[in-house]
Structure formats: C-alpha cells, structure tokens
Amino acid sequence: MTIAKIEVERFSLTSPKPFDAVVAAFKSAIGQPNMVDFFKETRATNSFPDLARVVQSGLGRTDLMLFAEFDLGDILRRETGSKSPKIMRFVVGNPLIMKEMVKHVPDAGSYAPVTVLIDERPDGVHVSYDKMESYLRPYGNAEALVVAQDLDAKVTTLLRECAG
C-alpha cells in the first residue's frame, strides 16, 4: 500500500460581476456537447484521427468542453428557502489534453477532467480552480508538467476573462 501526500495550489479570484454573468461568460467559452451523443460518437470511432475529430467538434474557443455541472447551492437554497447561496461546480476538460498527461503519468486520470467552482459570497463571486501542475508535480515527469502548465494557462486565462 502506498499513500502519497499531494499539495494542491488553488487559483482563486473574486469578481464584482453578478454570479449569473460570471457563469454565462464561463459557459459561453467552453464547448457544451450533448455528452450522451459525444460518448456514443467517440466509442464508434475506429481510429485516433476520427476520435480527435469528434473531440475537436465538441470543444469551445478555449479548447475545453463541459462534461458535467452541479448546482451545489440548490440543496442549500431548498433548506433555507432563500435565493442564495449560488454555488456551481463545473467539470471541464479536453480528452486530448488528458491523454497527453495520462500517457506520461497514469495517475493524472484521477485529476482530469478538472473542476471549476463558481460561488457567490458576501464579498463577490469567487472563481476557483485547483491547478493541474500542482497535482502532477510530485510525479516528477517533465512532459506531463508541460501539458499540465498549458492546461492551467487555458483555465486560468478563461477564469480571468469571466471574472474581469
């Protein structure tokens, strides 16, 4: 049995924009394929070029797509009966980027796709992301780290745009 300690770096910023505006900006920048159809199409491909074509068709301008979203605040709002807090968790990524990390560090599959958290607090809307580079650094693989750094740059640039 092996237990490894991984120190995670969290990128977080606070936006003065309304919650719904931040979420709308975020979602407009990422692909939102119908995931049932997307997975059927990827499984039906017979070659890597065909698979890459299907993946590319599902990506947004940021080279990312939405895999799932969770309205975490819904449960809290139901308990309190109020309109807040608003908390959304988005699972986003790009299977082609994930592939590049996983071929060098199989454990990268535990961290990709990534999570973006957008939540409303008294001081503004917080946008947070745990950096992939920090997850992969302990594995010491330079090739995976380059891919992780590129992914981190894509996500953090997107979050700055949405919050700014």
93 found inside a domain: yes
> Worst-scoring range by mean pLDDT, 53-62, 83-92, 102-111?
83-92
Secondary structure of residue 70 in the 3-state scheme: strand
In a domain, 38, yes or no: yes
Whether pLDDT at 162 is above 90: yes
On whether residue 3 sits in a domain, the answer given is: no
- Mean pLDDT value of segment 64-75: 95
Name the packing angle between helices 19-29 and 142-163 (round to 10°): 130
63 part of a folded domain? yes
Please report whether residue 108 resides in a domain.
Answer: yes
H/E element holding 93?
A: strand 87-93
Specify whether the CB–CB gap between 115 and 88 falls below 8 A.
Answer: no
Q: What is the pLDDT of residues 3-56, one digit of tens each?
A: 988 999 999 999 999 999 999 999 999 999 999 999 999 999 999 999 999 999
For residue 84, is pLDDT > 90? no
Could you tell me if residue 5 is inside a domain? Answer: no
3-class SS of residue 141 = coil
CA 8 to chain centre: 15
- The pLDDT of residue 133 is 97
Would you say residue 152 lies in a domain? yes
Q: What are phi and psi of 44, to 5 degrees?
A: -80, -10
pLDDT band at 129 (very low <50, low <70, confident <90, very high): very high
**Looking at the 3D structure of the chain, how many domains does it have?**
1
Other residues' Cβ atoms within 10 Å of the Cβ of residue 12: 12
Residues forming a β-bridge with 14 = 126
Helix, strand, coil percentages for the chain (3-state, nearest 5): 50, 20, 25
Looking at residue 80, what is its pLDDT? 86
Q: Which token pair is 80?
A: 């309190």
Which range of residues forms the domain containing residue 77? 19-163
Look up the CATH number of the domain holding residue 143: 3.30.310.70
**Residue 123 belongs to some domain of the structure:** yes
